[in-house]
Amino acid sequence: MATLCRPAVSVPEHVITMEQTLDLARTLHADHPQLPLALRLIENTGVAKRHLLQPIEETLRHPGLEARNALYESEAKARVPAVILEALADARLRPADIDVIIYVSCTGFMMPSLTAWLINTMGFKSEARQIPIAQLGCAAGGAAVNRAHDFCQAYPEANALIVACEFCSLCYQPTDLTVGNLLCNGLFGDGIAAAVVRGQGGEGITLERNGSYLVPGTEDWIAYNVRATGFHFQLDKRVPGTMEALAPVLEALTKEHGWRASDLDFYVIHAGGPRILDDLSTFLGVPPEAFRYSRATLTEYGNIASAVVLDALRRLFDDGGAPELGRGLLAGFGPGITAEMSLGHWTTARSTPPTGDAQ
């Protein structure tokens, strides 16, 4: 059965704290009639710090969509390979052992996808399938896990590589002064994550069931308004309350599998904001501590979009993992409103022989 192995995660070197974010908002938007509301919303995110691709002075400039997208491409090529190599080493595989590369990102655009460049430069085989996912936003991390699971079910001896590359700071829009956009300026951070799903062997979450769900009539709640200046993020004020609709979906999926959503051993949840985690804790009937890894990602990195679930899983690994055969749930939420959900058991397999020498 397919096993999701330990993710590798990297964040850029430039850091902005909550205090700096609030000071910037007060300085840049001193005359904004809803500034007190925006400041309160940013404070309520619980994001202590975020990592940015560029120093804050450069982040605040807008040289145009063309320049920003060129920076997205050059930085992705400079930073992604090292993260991939770490993920491959954790899974005890080589680039040549990978049969499909699933690349997810919503903060820049390339055609061909970065997957083509990775195949040509990192030793992946030319026959490797490419699955770029660009329009699922934060839900794409969960979707990538599910599509990797599906692929390994179809090809039981195959191995899948997931890569999430999110440079949210390149979507900063200095002239967009809606309260939702001001909140996003204090919520999102930059990050890269990669993980391998092994068709055979491996240590981590042995994937058993996955599901997707779209909350009807919510396609405008999280969206991009694409303008000449690039991607303008739109966030409806009703988004934080979506767990009331999605918690029953998570419960139904676990029930179909013979489990109870309130009685699992680990949870890896996309932390779009603290309200998501608080509500999910209430509606599922699980203690807040169950989401500690997701909350740590939010506190230390902010919302790093599709990379959140992989970073939360990485934190679970680094904390010693779950009990052998422990039951768990992984879920990502994003535009649509879409939920991508996975169920599986925790597997330790330290004796799994490597397919080849990890590079």
Catalytic residue among 138, 165, 168, 184: 138
Closest-CA residue to 331 (of 284, 47, 89, 232) = 284
Here the tokens at position 75 are 């930085």
Q: In 336-358, which positions are buried (b, 16+ CB within 10 angstroms) versus exposed (e)?
A: bbbbbbbbbbbbebeebeebeeb
CA distance 58 to 80: 21
> Catalytic annotation on 171?
no
The answer to whether 162 touches 145, Cβ cutoff 8 Å, is yes
CA distance 193 to 216: 30
The residues annotated as belonging to the active site are 138
